[in-house]
Amino acid sequence: MADIPEEAKCVVQTADGPICGYCEKTDEGICYKFKSIPYAKPPLGHLRFLPPSPIPPWTEVLDCTKDAPKPVCRSVYDIISGSEDCLYIELSTPSIKPDKPIPVMFWIGGYGYSCVLDPILDATLFNYQNVIFVRCGHRTGPFGYLSINDYAAPGNCGLKDVVMALKWVQRNISTVGGDPNNVTIFGSSSGGAMVNFMMLSPMATGLFHKLIIQSASVLNNWSLAKNPSQGVIELAKILGIEKTSKQEIVEELRRIPAVDIAEAFKNFHIGFSEGVESDLFDSVFKPCIEVDLEGQAAFITKSPIVILKSGNFNKVPCIIGSNNIEGAV
């Protein structure tokens, strides 16, 4: 915290422990920023490919003034960067002691479930409209969506990361002036599909109140993995893993450095969808329909179309649309 002037620092007490952010003044106004609030244990070692685990509370003031690590992924410049230790929340608020609670907008970023483009968003633009902006790091690619439909790798970890971050918002957003009863989630591309998936999952019930889906739908051909184990087998081949049991393959993958997995994934992670959507990028690792595993909550266990037809989903006000010239980003 040495490079932040003392007079600009601000400390708030969350349900997990005290955090330190900073006040930023511009010609447009004032905003308070907390850039790296942990919301789950780092998914390292034996926690790789598993749902997020609750973070233990702390007592000392935690420095949240510096940028959090981005998820391990391939950048638009074909460079592997980021860290598995990426489960942090960034938020920006116009006030930490407002006259009345401030609405919250929670951004879910993503492209092909394989990378994030979050830096293009300027959070302060929301603050100037008296809105709190929140986003979270979540696992992408094989780290977020590798699945063998077994306890070793049940799948949908990236979606479950977002659920845990939304739970953090419900517990803590009031400490920075936010209204936990007025949370809008929104996203574009695969982030938009993730927003749509939140509508369908009982895991996310009560964690948001409105949603905005941009350039995506759970019903898109590219939104859901048809054969989630396919990517595991292909990844094992590229990395020279000779095990035949899927459980053994997953254990071997846990021992391999993240950058090596990401490099292997880079060789096959995006292709083109077949059929009517042949102009769309597609990814091997993406959300899947889970099997019921005793003692472990599943994100979804039925296909999106079945859930929608049943009427048994989170019914909240919703805006759906598409972004023009999205590829220009």
CATH assignment at residue 297: 3.40.50.1820
Indicate whether 267 belongs to any domain.
no
User: pLDDT class for 324, splitting at 50, 70, 90?
Assistant: confident
Tell me if 60 sits within 8 A of 107, measured CB to CB.
no
What percentage of residues in the chain have a pLDDT greater than 70?
A: 92
Indicate whether 235 belongs to any domain.
no
Indicate whether 262 belongs to any domain.
no
Of 46 and 115, more confident: 46
Backbone angles phi, psi at 117, to 5 degrees: -120, 30
The pLDDT value recorded for residue 218 is 96
pLDDT at 281 over 80: no
Domain count across the chain: 1
User: pLDDT class for 78, splitting at 50, 70, 90?
Assistant: confident
The pLDDT value recorded for residue 327 is 63
User: pLDDT class for 4, splitting at 50, 70, 90?
Assistant: confident
Indicate whether 79 belongs to any domain.
yes
Indicate whether 174 belongs to any domain.
yes
Indicate whether 269 belongs to any domain.
no
Across the chain, the runs of DSSP E, i.e. the strands, are: 9-13, 18-25, 30-38, 62-63, 73-74, 80-81, 88-93, 102-108, 132-136, 178-188, 210-214, 270-272, 281-283, 318-321
Range of the domain at 87: 6-223+286-328
pLDDT at 116 over 90: no
Indicate whether 200 belongs to any domain.
yes
> In this predicted model, what pLDDT tens digit does every residue of 159-179 receive, in sequence order?
999 999 999 999 999 999 999
